[in-house]
Each structure stands twice: as C-alpha cells, then as structure tokens.
Amino acid sequence: MPGAPFAGGDDPGQPARPDAWDEETGGPSPSRRAAYHFNAGFLTDTRVRRILSLAGHDLRLGKPGAEDDVIVWGHSPYAPRGEAVAEATGANLVRVEDAFLRSLHPGRSGDAPIGLVIDRRGMHFDATRPSDIETILARHPLDNTVLLDRARDAVARMAEGHLSKYCAVDPGLEPPDPGFVLVIDQTREDASIRLGTANADSFAEMLTWARQDHPDATIVIKTHPETQAGHRPGHFDPANLPERVVIEDRPISPWRLFEHARAVYTVSSQLGFEALLSGHRPVTFGVPFYAGWGLTDDRRPVPERRGRRLTRAQLAAAALILYPVWYDPFRDRLCPLEDALGALEAQARAWREDRFGYAAVGIRAWKRARHGAFFGGSGGKIGYFEDVAKAAEDGRPVQVWARRESPELVRSCDRAGRSLARIEDGFLRSRGLGATLVPPISLVQDDIGIYYDPARESRLERLIAEAASLDPARLRRAERLITALRRGGITKYNLSGAREVPDIPGGRPMILVPGQVEDDASITSGGGEVATNAELLRTARRLHPQGFLVYKPHPDVEAGLRDGAVPIEALVEMADHVASGADPVALMARADRVVTITSGLGFEALIRGVPVTTLGAPFYAGWGLTTDLGPVPARRTARATIAALVHAALIAYPRYLDPVTGLPCPVEVAVDRLKTGEGLSQAPRLKMLAKLQGWLSGHSWLWRG
C-alpha cells in the first residue's frame, strides 16, 4: 500500500495499525488485533462494528493487556473511560471517527457511515498532537501519479455529484448572488473547535475579520447540517446579526456556494477542506488538519511540524485515500474510495429526486412493486393513478411510463404546474425479458423527453453532449465499465443461448442483423422509412450484397410475445443464417458489422468495437460513432467517444437498484449482480403470470404497457 510505513506508529511500543485496504493487492489486510471498548455505542452501532471488524479489530469487553488496543470514539464525552484504561494497562489507544464522506444525513438522524478513520496517534481534528493524517501529510512522498490522478478524479466526482460529508443537499437550490463571503458555522462545544486551538469567541472574531476584509460584500453564514436538523445549536443567532450578514440554512450544495463565493472563512470545519478542494484558499481561525500546508490563510499559529508545502491533489490523496477506511454496503466488504463514492452518488441521487414522492400514471400492476422499490425508498410517497387529471392535481411530481404518455397528461401537468418525468427500462435491464415479467435492475427517468424518441430532445442527449466534452481523465470509470461488460459478457437481457456461430465462407464479411419488435416505441418513434424486420433484411442485403447476413430474431418475437416475425420466404431470400436462440455476445464477437434500425444491440456492438450502421435514429446515432442512414436529428452535433457514450447511457442516465440489499446502487454493482444472478430470482407470482401470458400470447394487449 502506498504510504503503509506512515499509516502506523514509529515510536517504540506503537505498532503499525492494520491497514484496512491494501492499494497494491486491491484487498483488505489480514492482520487482526484485539480491541477493547468501554462505550455502548460500539455495541449498538452495527455498521461501525462491521467496519472495524473488517479492518482487523476484534471488539471485546474486559481488561486489555499491554499488547492490545483500547478503542474510543474520537474525543467524545465517553472517550475518557477508554483513555483511563489504556493509561492504566499500557494498552495502545486507538481513536475512531467518521470519515470525511459519511452519509446522506448526520449520524444523529440515524444514517450509518460509509467510512471511518482509525487513528493510532491522535485524531485529525486534534492539532495539539500529531495524528496519522498529519504524519502522512508531513512524511509520505505523495508523488505517485496513479494515486494523485485518483485523488483528482475523486474531487471531480465530489463536485459533479455534490458530495459532502452529509450529502442530503439539493443542487437545484440557487445560491445568493455571486460575490458574497462565505462564513462557516459549526456546532457548539464540538471537540474539533477546542482541539483545533479555538473557542466560541473565535466565531465572533472570524465574522469581524470577514467584514473588515470585505467591507463591500454580503456575508453569508452557512449553518451546520446538525443545526439545520435541530440536533445541536450553532454559534450565530439569526435574530442578532449585523447589517448585510445573512444565514443560509437551506439544504444547498456547498459546491454551489463555493462557485459563487468571493472568499471562505472557517474555524475548523470540514467544509473548509471542501472549499479548499474547490479552488478556494480558506481563511482559518482554528487549526484544522488542512491548515499549515500552504493551501490556507491561517490566522492562528500552526504547529511547526507542519512545514511542508502540498498541492490540493496531495492533500486529497491523504485525506480521502490513504487515511480512511471505506465500506462497500452492497458486498459487505472494505473497498477503495471509488466504490464508496459510487454508493454515495446513488443514494444521494435517489434522495434528491424522490424525497417529495410521485403521482405515477400508466404503471401496470405487476410493475408497481419494483417501481415503488426504485422511487419510494427516500421517504416520499407514491400514489398510482389512472386518471391523468387527478394525477396532475395531486401536488406531487408526476411520473408516467413513457409509452403511456398522452397529450392530455402533458396538458394537465402544464395547467397544474407539475413536472412530468417519463420512466423506461434501462440499457442493462435484467437476466430475462420484460415481456416475461422479469423485473428490471435499472430504470431511466427523463424529465425532458425519452431516449428512443428523436422527435424531441431527451435528457440522455444532453448527457451525451456533456460527456463528449469531459476531460479524458473523467472517463476512466466508463472505460473500466466497458472492460467489465466485455469480460462479463453483459448485455441488456443476459439470456442464455447457443454460442455456436455458423461457418462463414472465406472472404465474406459477417453482417449481424438484429431483429426488433415492430410495434416497439423505438421503431414507431425513431425507425424512419425502414419499419419492419423484412425491410431491415432487404436493406442490409442491398448495402452488403457480398456479406454473410446473420439474422437474430428479437427474443420477445421468438417467444411469440411481441410482433415482428419475418415471413419464411423473406428469410430464405435475404438471410444466410437465422441465429434463433443465439447468444448475442458470441455473434458480436464474430461480426464485422451490425446493421440495425434502432436496436439496443447496436449500442452493445459499439461497446465491443463492432462498426454499426443505423437505419433509424437510435440514441447512439449522430455522435460520430456510427454510419447513419436514418433521420438523425441535426441537433446532435457533439462528437463523442465510446467512453463518453457509455458514461452518459450507463452511468449518468439510469438509476440502479441492488436486488440483494434493496438500496440504490452504482452501475458496477448492477453489473456484478447481472453476471452472477445473485438476488435476481423472479417472484413466484410473476412466474405464474408469465406462464399465463405465454398461453395467451395472442392477446398481448391485455398486459403490455
């Protein structure tokens, strides 16, 4: 692990702490230590106990020996119990606290932490003595390119995802007009104030200096989330503030405040660290861990041992990668920072979008349980309606299953001033077909249009255009995802099928032609002049007269559940081989080109490096990645890479729900579940309904929606 010598103690009798995550091996360290505790919180907080156990600490009650650890929670009121026992027995004192990215809401609101810091020297907010993070910052080389690139990427993801220690913020809230000075409040009697060599008077002093330094500016005081939630008071009384000083207690994103702030003043708040990462040079009136390294304007003396000058990336690498222990709630294991970021991003997105609830229209009965699990887990209630006027008048944001959208619903939402979002399956859906009532692992929610309808802009189009201009370093996650999809053979439905590919006569290119459901919305909305599978085959033959055409019928059509069967005479005339029940991954591995109308298999082919010709206007056409013969919208002018397309379509656009934990999850977890099948078994009632559906396949209008 980079920096392992600096993560432990160098003093006699101060053993190196068990490094929780080895950056070189990509896994947890196997070393374990007995850890005695004298605080009931370590008994009752299951998440904290689990993280500590995974980090190598065997929590125990009783009397420790001199070679054992005594573990305490930071400098809490209960820490002196453990401190006294450690002093009396000669045991090693270990302090534990929340990591710098914690959860959606504060711990006092009941949320479990995503990470911890485990410090064998002191604690990051205690400037009176060295801590593990101070030692890392002072002595670690912090010159590894991979480490620093990871730190920069993490900061970019925090800013993009509006992630802070507590992530229950609304990025849509507008900050005050640019040019204000941001003053950060903290909760009264917090240990980080006293041990940061400050006190309650430091906050009055900070405000005075902020006003003197910027006499023409409005001063905006940002309250602490625990103060907003009513748990603990802050240091400023809203009723007794000087002129041009205002309180900001909305759940506004700190990153939006940083964008508009002229300067940032803090005593010892972690928000000062985040302001620093955003590009500010915070003015400090205490001694937080990030002070004294040349990145802050320090109005208090800092310890002489902090004489090194660091970059923002080095500070971020130490604080976010080398110092904490991160936890993966989906796989119940320790993890690198990137996995913790993914979990927080998914949870924060769900809360931000869903907390007000929905009035849902056009959601079939069999879909409602899964829909409710996706969109009802953040406290907002979901009401299901068939009457569009009642839905629009309900008072909550309106959702509609995309193909059930109607002009009447749009007009009703416009009259009522309600937002309208369209719901559809995502591009990594399940291990089985939607037509056989297999529930999805991903859904998309589009507040502008819907991805398969090129007649109007969609949220996905905007995301692709934005991703096209991302720095290549920001696309590394998408590149890793592409590798995982290729290696795992992951597609939209992940159906088992024959992997044999027909022998292809020498010299003839294999042209893969995926059939589609002919009355699917993607065909009726974006198919262009070619609207049937027979016409698709004829066009593919015309384009590739010498090609070996392999036609793959759509699974729903093969099962007799949807329209799109090609007459046998057309198959005989146009196709060299019909790949019924075939594995699409095996076919794409041999294909020289895919010719499609709007099939999602075209997107999957692009991911695998197969050239694609489009005859319609699928979401992936028009970005410079395909040969487009269909009516692609002129507004698609951005030139995207495959990584940018994947970032937009598989990371930024869909929502994923982990079938094992029931939690919103990042795409990487969804890919793992699709690969292993864990948690993806179909409910017995849906299996029975799917069988009945098969028997009644000639009456598909009864269940389709």
Q: Taking the CB of residue 684, how many other CB atoms lie within 10 A of it?
A: 8
Task: Say if residues 82 and 40 touch (Cβ distance below 8 Å).
Answer: no
> What pLDDT does residue 18 have?
40
DSSP 444: E
Mean pLDDT by 10 residues, the chain (705 residues): 37 38 52 92 94 96 96 95 97 97 93 97 97 97 96 96 96 96 96 96 97 97 91 91 95 97 98 98 98 98 96 98 98 97 98 97 92 92 95 96 95 95 95 73 97 97 97 92 96 81 89 92 87 94 96 83 80 90 92 96 98 97 98 97 98 97 97 92 54 49 47
Q: How far apart are CA 533 and CA 631, in angstroms?
A: 18
In this structure, are 119 and 175 located in the same domain? no
Closest by alpha carbon to 391, among 361, 369, 434, 417?
361
Closest by alpha carbon to 254, among 236, 293, 217, 228?
228
Closest by alpha carbon to 337, among 645, 31, 117, 582?
117
In this structure, are 644 and 562 located in the same domain? yes
| 656 within some domain | yes
In this structure, are 76 and 158 located in the same domain? no
Closest by alpha carbon to 339, among 323, 326, 325?
326
Instruction: State the DSSP H helix or E strand holding residue 414, giving kind and residue range, or none if neither.
Output: helix 407-416
Name the residue range of residue 50's domain: 4-139
In this structure, are 551 and 622 located in the same domain? yes
Q: How far apart are CA 82 and CA 63, in angstroms?
A: 11
> What pLDDT does residue 3 have?
34
In this structure, are 256 and 289 located in the same domain? yes
In this structure, are 97 and 245 located in the same domain? no
586 φ, ψ (degrees, to nearest 5): -65, -40
| 336 within some domain | no
Q: For residue 600, how many C-alpha atoms fall within 13 Å in the half-sphere facing its CB? A: 23
* E-strand stretches of 197-244: 219-222
> What pLDDT does residue 219 have?
98
Q: Which of 328, 355, 388 is the last residue of a domain?
A: 328
Q: For residue 441, how many C-alpha atoms fall within 13 Å in the half-sphere facing its CB? A: 33
Distances in Å between the alpha carbon of 9 and those of 304, 355, 577?
Answer: 20, 45, 68
Instruction: Tell me the one-letter amino acid at 527.
Output: G
| 392 within some domain | no
Q: Which of 328, 345, 367 is the last residue of a domain?
A: 328
Instruction: State the DSSP H helix or E strand holding residue 369, giving kind and residue range, or none if neither.
Output: helix 368-375
| 702 within some domain | no
Task: Say if residues 688 and 515 touch (Cβ distance below 8 Å).
Answer: no
Block residue for tokens 């996905």: 460
In this structure, are 630 and 560 located in the same domain? yes
| 705 within some domain | no
CATH code, 217: 3.40.50
DSSP 446: E
In this structure, are 134 and 260 located in the same domain? no
Instruction: Tell me the one-letter amino acid at 633.
Output: P
| 391 within some domain | no
List Cβ neighbours of 407 (8 Å cut-off, separation of 6 or more).
none
| 342 within some domain | no
Q: Which of 139, 162, 197 is the last residue of a domain?
A: 139
β-strand partners of 577: 550
In this structure, are 119 and 157 located in the same domain? no
In this structure, are 589 and 676 located in the same domain? yes
What is the Cα 633 distance to its own chain's centre? 30
How many domains does the chain contain in total?
3
| 685 within some domain | yes
In this structure, are 99 and 153 located in the same domain? no
Closest by alpha carbon to 333, among 559, 51, 592, 121?
51
Q: How far apart are CA 249 and CA 227, in angstroms?
A: 9
DSSP 655: E
Q: How far apart are CA 593 and CA 610, in angstroms?
A: 6
Block residue for tokens 């209008």: 701
In this structure, are 130 and 155 located in the same domain? no
Residue-wise burial string across 363-392, b where 16 or more C-beta atoms lie within 10 A, e elsewhere: beebbeebbbebbbbbebebebbeebeebb
